Amino acid sequence: MICPDLDLLVCRILFSATLALSGAGCKSSHEGQGWLPPSGRPEVSLGVQNTAKQVQVIAQDFFRGRGYAEVESRHGYEFVFDKPMKSGRSGKALRVRLRLNKQLDGTWQFNGTPFRVEGWRSDLETEVLLPQASSQIQAFLVEIKCRLESAR
């Protein structure tokens, strides 16, 4: 690594380009999904040097800066962020579930899943998958990965 500032600049340029392409309606071979990895789901690979706690701290900072609040998850390697839609009394929210999966070679697979939540913060809360938001979540994961790499 020659210059951490240069790495951060390159990551931000790539992140901006990804957002611009997904916002402009760029289509891949997966109609309607925009740019996604071959799996068709938002995911990135993280190095062995990253810990789950480091990923959580960077993800918390990233999503809090965008108006999301972290909510409790039942899984140790899952982080969940909610953002109310319109006013907090609408009973609807956007939710992003981020999950870390340790691979056999020691690296991490970091994936995210976007949801719309109906009946938010009620006993009858329901998650509805939002595949049209997958490109944006992919861009978020790329930015979080860049921040992790520049923090080293």
Q: For 67-113, write each residue's pLDDT tens digit.
A: 999 999 989 999 999 999 987 577 999 999 999 999 999 999 999 99
Buried b (16+ CB within 10 A) or exposed e, 24-57: eeeeeeeeebbbbeeeeebbbebeeebebeebbe
- 10 pLDDT exceeds 90? no
Question: Please, what is the average pLDDT of the chain?
Answer: 83
Tally of domains within the chain: 1
Residue with tokens 């978020």, as numbered in its chain: 140
Domain containing residue 144? 4-151
| Gyration radius (Cα) of the chain, Å | 16
What's the confidence (pLDDT) of residue 5?
54
- 28 pLDDT exceeds 50? no
Q: At what angle do helices 134-151 and 4-23 cross, to 10 degrees?
A: 180
CATH of the domain at 123: 3.30.310.80
pTM: 0.76
